[in-house]
Structure 1
């Protein structure tokens, strides 16, 4: 083997090793945060209603949006509307939905950063933006209950987060 081939082989091995180490260390990971889809009305349990038909369609649309996104974990609060929003994505990715406590956002933000996992987090209008802010070290206020089209994408590299706010073009089918 001539010197050029040996050098090329050595550089390839070093490059692959660096790539593998970066992946093992998980220096770069992404967390997607969304508010639950449109909720209906429940006379039997008004504080925990299911999704409307439109909400179910939006949850399916979210799953399609995230189709090519690698996710290690999916989190939801323990409400019917949040779990139902996460369900199509969890099903398509063959993941179980893990429950988190929306009343302990500071602790949950620390956990997300420590775990270094690509994640989907489904929450509420009064927690989703706030949690995104905690992940990047900025104060973000809750948003209006009429807003369903935001996806907060937090990319974390070496403990520094960058926030991107995406607005989906989804609209419900008319019946």
Structure 2
């Protein structure tokens, strides 16, 4: 009888302790907006007026998107691209090192939060690929209109790439 009781307790605990499917979470990745290249010696340029408008446009794009965190590399252009969205969501910027993409990918996957990550032409696609176990190459520096969306659920990841219609007049 005692063994039967332990058996039932084991079954009940096993059923109630078995993990259920996890809630999906989404990570969005974008490149910083247009940077001012008028001073070729400046390694940390600001955004152009067009870039500032694109950053505001991104905030509008993310207006109805639930974001838990906004990440940016520690450059003026990435922070200035991320800030309008972070401010509209009442979030502080969380800085990350764009030279440590494997580390930030691991952090993003472990935290399981809806997030926006603002990076660079040589990191944004690569990081999206790391999140969904695909090889994605850096893209051309003339491209600013991509939004990578990685939806992660039950250990699977789905990648979508959006191309925004924003353009400078």
For structure 2, the 5+ residue unaligned runs are 1-18
Give yes or no for the alignment of 1:88 onto 2:62: no
Question: Is residue 57 of structure 1 aligned with residue 44 of structure 2?
Answer: no
* CA deviation string 1:73-117 (max 9, x = no partner): 000000000000000001100000000001110111011000000
Equivalent residue, structure 2, for 1:141: 137
Length, aligned pairs only: 151
Aligned position for 2:62: 66
Within a 5 Å distance, the mapping from 1:1-175 to structure 2 comes to 26-41=22-37, 43=39, 46-173=42-169
1:160, distance to aligned residue in structure 2 (A)? 1.2
Within 1, Cα distance between the matches of 2:147 and 2:67? 15
In the aligned structure 1, how far is the partner of 2:35 from the partner of 2:75? 11
RMSD over aligned Cα atoms:
1.7
Distance 1:134 1:103 in 2: 14
* Aligned partner of residue 155 in structure 1, secondary structure: strand
CA distance in 2, matches of 1:165, 1:44: 31
**Secondary structure of 1:138 counterpart:** coil
Distance 2:45 2:68 in 1: 28
Q: Secondary structure at the match of 2:65?
A: coil
Deviations 1:104-158 (A, max 9, x none): 1011101100000000000000000000000000000000000000000000002
Q: CA deviation at 1:41?
A: 3.0
